Amino acid sequence: MISIAVTFAKRLLTSPKYLLVLLTLTFVLHMASIVAALKTDDYLQWAALSGSDVLFDKGFVVADPSLSWYEQIGNQFNFFDAKNGSLAQLIDYGALPWWTETDIKIHFFRPISSLTHWVDYNFWPNNIIWMHFENLLIFMLLVFAVYRLYQKTTSSAGIAALAALIYSLDPSHLESLTWVASRNALLAPLFAMLAIQSFIQWRETDRITKMYLSLIFLLCALLSAEAGIATTCYLFSYMLWIDKAPLGRRIIALMPAAGLVIVWRIAYNYAGFGSENVAQYVDPGHDPLFFAKHLIDRFPQMIASANFVYDGGTRRFSLAQEHASWIYSWAITALICLIYYPVLKRDKYSRFWMTGAMIAVIPLSTINVITARLFEFVAIGFFAVLASYAQWAFSNLPSRNIMYTSAVRLLAGIWLIVNIGLASQVLAVNSISSINKYAQGDVEEDPFPFYNFDNMDYQDRYLVVANAPYTFLLQFVPYRLAYHNLPIPAGIRSLTPGLSTLSIKRLNEQELLVDIKGGFSIYSHIDIPGEVAQSTLSDAHNSRKLMGFFGRSDRIYSLGQQFNYNDTRIEITKLLDGRPKAIKVTFNYPLDQEKYLFVYWDWESQRYRELVLPKIGEQIILKGPFYQAETLQENKAI
């Protein structure tokens, strides 16, 4: 039975019609992505490209309708920037919380990706399906380019076909496909594949035009996303393992690409783009030492995630669990190298792809939270090695030791079942489910139910969020409301991160005292308080990691420190290990008036609900995500 399956697979993978089968399968299994709705960053891009008087009047400078074409292109990935004033206005409005540092920046420059979005919102602004369809078309071009490159850089047509199939079926692509704003994660590797292929043609034929073409594609990759720098990792690996020129000439051959990257980075910094003073995006160009420390944590986890198909799975880990997974990830990385060693030893192409993928992990480790879209570059290399390993296991493996042969083939078979069989089932179920929901009109506008303010009476009122579960997502609320022509709150005030149980005491008509027993979880590098929290998988841990958007992990608070806004004043009244433990919130208007709408996040129903404030002198308790488990643990201790 196994031999029949292997024979059938070999015939299919070497069939002249294989490319048609591959692209058809890619389209069918991913076509459900075109019915996805907009989410998070998509609303920011809409505001930057379409303009909004309502948002601009509230201080959202990226939504200025009078922005020039160039400014619109430059603002599509401008989340906040202290130097152009957008950060101060976002904090003042409340789209960013009071614990946000005042010198941070996340402002990327991706003009090619931005240009495609500019076309979207200027020619078919209401056709969201077509925007997602563009992502799918780009992905199909990427699969085609990957397959063509595999054909030149693997030892057989069967390996190239198998590797391309595994890559096309990787469920990690869904994140990029269903997110319009993540188109850059598809464009950058597409141009990278073209750059690598042109580079190889130059080295094989010595045609100088191919070198120039490679540089053009490399520049396009860099101008699509900063991740495009990973292209050079594969160029270096090619010169290390495959190119036959003397060492000196190989080094010289890499200089044009290296020079282009250096010039791009200098211009990028000079123009004021990049990230600064945030823990979420560690920019090696601005803070190399901090990045080096960050890389030690991320490197093994990225490799383990890419090879064992749990991309982004660590997002639900507590910090304590991450420390354990870091050790396991290094063990997994060593195991992967050991398992692949026989193939790496005999096949220069496998060494090329393995080395390129592992080096590519370095520039892609800038982000604090491991997400699936980070693996577009590294998966290309690792899947080529997996395909080579599978062919070696089932075709070229010497059968001297039956036990060893059986073990190798069993491992290769399991890996293929997971990466082809289970992956295709996941994609098929997702496609059927998504299309069925779309046909019935039951489509979630956003995968996170954190925006259900639509039916609340917040017009001309300040929206006070007692315990936002994903504080970072609140910045997109005004953009989303404006997109749907809904009223915009007068302002937003997020009191706490909402990751722990908290008490709210009414001091008088205009003041509240908010206290959290374990302190405010406003650092990405400190676990959510509680022994149970540190040992439980939860989306709350992902929210903790996203606190890295609001500043560095070494920011310091002081007792009595105040944060003043046009409607409220927040004062730190208690500290715990340098973190705020309690705050006093003073409102400019009596709380019983209609100036404020108080809401809280109900962790049990996973929705926002209106909050009824306690009477003067009384307090209420708002449960955190681990409240029930922690209560049970305390009862057992008693």
pTM higher than the cut 0.75: yes
pLDDT of residue 312: 65
pLDDT of residue 637: 35
DSSP state of 489: B
And the tokens for 170?
A: 């990787």
Q: Whole-angstrom Cα distance, residue 480 to residue 44?
A: 8
Going 152 to 157 to 163 to 168, the CA torsion angle's sign is positive
What is the phi/psi pair of residue 504, to 5°?
A: -120, 120
Give residue for tokens 């990257």. 261
> Which residue type, as a one-letter code, is found at position 375?
F
Using an 8 Å Cβ cutoff, are 337 and 382 in contact? no
Q: Whole-angstrom Cα distance, residue 516 to residue 582?
A: 6
DSSP state of 420: I
Helix axes 111-123, 184-205, angle to 10 degrees: 130
Contacts for 54 with CB less than 8 Å, ≥ 6 apart = 482, 488
How far is the first Cα of the chain from the last one, in angstroms, to the nearest whole number? 60
CA distances (Å), 466 to each of 124, 356, 377, 607, in order? Answer: 39, 47, 40, 13
Going across the sheet that includes 596-602, the strands are 491-496, 462-467, 596-602, 607-610
Q: Whole-angstrom Cα distance, residue 164 to residue 141?
A: 12
Pairing state of beta strands 105-107 and 274-276?
antiparallel
pLDDT mean by block of 10 residues, the chain; 638 residues: 55 76 93 88 92 91 89 89 82 93 91 95 91 96 97 93 94 90 95 98 95 98 96 97 94 96 94 88 78 83 81 80 88 92 95 96 84 86 95 79 85 88 86 76 55 78 91 88 90 92 94 94 88 87 89 88 93 93 95 90 88 93 80 38
Using an 8 Å Cβ cutoff, are 161 and 13 in contact? yes
Q: Whole-angstrom Cα distance, residue 100 to residue 96?
A: 7
Give residue for tokens 């920046």. 105
pLDDT of residue 631: 46
Going across the sheet that includes 105-107, the strands are 78-81, 105-107, 274-276
pLDDT of residue 470: 86
Ranges of beta strands (E only) in 43-121 are: 78-81, 105-107
Helix, strand or coil, per DSSP, at residue 52:
coil
Q: Whole-angstrom Cα distance, residue 206 to residue 201?
A: 8
489 DSSP β-pair partners: 459
